[in-house]
Amino acid sequence: MKTAARALTAVALLSAAGPTPSSAQQWPEKPVRMLVPFAPGGGTDIQARLLNNAFAKSTGQQFIVDNRTGASGLIATQIAVEAAPDGYTILFTSGSISVVTTLHAKRIKWDMFTDLQPVSWISSTPLVLSVHPSVPAKSPKELVELAKRTKGSMNAGGNTVGSTAHLTAEMFNQRFGTRSQVLTYRGGGPAVIALISGEIDYIFATAPSVMPHLRTGRARALAVTTQKRSPALPELPTMDSFYPGFVSDNWYAMFLPKGTPRPIVERLNAEISKALQTKEVKDFFPREALDPVASSPEELAKYFRSEVEKYARVIKAANIRAD
């Protein structure tokens, strides 16, 4: 009896410790939840559903999007941090996670670097430096010079407070010593409307939000902020080509809870690489100015840390505070 009791106790301890190596190799054996910190229909949500379809076809299991909005993405992130490290809860988020780490530091009760397991950088999309047609600048350098000599200040625009669009406009001021007033709005759509109405002079806009207006001539693009040219806007130079190091990437990535077994991390990483090669993804990404990336977990971890450090400097220098 004592031997049987010991055996049952050992089984219970193993179960509590998490998935065994054999179960990790067989992952997934049941539906997988993918947490998305933003509302249905947005860029993160659409990508998540597209990738989940590819995962389901490849693995034979359901991957279900769970939209948990609020607190600048922190609600979904906290759920992921607290989830069992068994591979059945994935966090699919945007580059905004590298901003909220600093902007909402007092609210966060966990460590973004140690309590989340990076899996893969999924995609990259540029911000597009765009001006109102009345602005005479035809290049980033001309805009910098114009902003420096304009009496008073020019008006720049950003999405919500702390968005990458907002912080990139602040980076512009800090890098070039300009004093443009950066106005923030309730999202990318309203910010672009402010540009085409002439309320602001320039903006670092998300590519999908501004591209229709570039085609109609209601806005004019000068450059993209990614390190490489965008396949969706191949004629545009990069900010980095004018000003080395001026890079801002609206990226997307997947994370798992800390402690997820390495075989599961590697399996999901491989599924991501396969999904990015499917026809559905290859057809969709260029239309949305998305550039597929794929990376190792280690590459994502290194990139994530560098992004947090970059935006922390901008936030501190501009004295930006969360509402």
What is the length of the chain? 323
The answer to whether 36 and 67 have CB atoms below 8 angstroms apart is yes
pLDDT at 12: 42
Asked if domains 32-125+249-318 and 126-242 share a fold, the reply is: yes
Task: Please name which of 139, 168, 142, 164 lies closest in space to residue 156, comparing C-alpha atoms.
Answer: 168
Q: Which of left, alpha, beta for 282 (phi over 0: left; psi -120 to 50: alpha)? A: alpha
Kindly indicate whether the domain formed by 126-242 is annotated with CATH number 3.40.190.10.
Answer: yes
Q: What is the pLDDT along the chain (323 residues), one digit of tens a residue?
A: 444 444 444 444 444 445 555 556 789 999 999 999 988 887 889 999 999 999 999 999 999 999 999 888 899 999 999 999 999 999 999 998 999 999 999 889 899 999 999 999 999 999 999 999 999 999 999 999 999 999 888 999 988 888 899 999 999 999 999 999 999 988 888 999 999 999 999 999 988 889 999 999 999 999 999 999 998 899 999 999 999 999 998 899 999 999 999 999 999 999 999 999 999 999 999 888 899 999 999 999 999 999 999 999 999 999 998 76
Q: 234: Cβ–Cβ under 8 A, 6 or more apart, which residues?
A: none
Entry pTM? 0.84
Segments making up each domain of the chain, as ranges: 32-125+249-318, 126-242
pLDDT digit string (tens) for 97-141? 999 999 999 889 899 999 999 999 999 999 999 999 999 999 999
Fold of 32-125+249-318: D-Maltodextrin-Binding Protein; domain 2 (3.40.190)
Task: Please name which of 288, 153, 307, 146 lies closest in space to residue 222, comparing C-alpha atoms.
Answer: 146
Q: 235: Cβ–Cβ under 8 A, 6 or more apart, which residues?
A: none
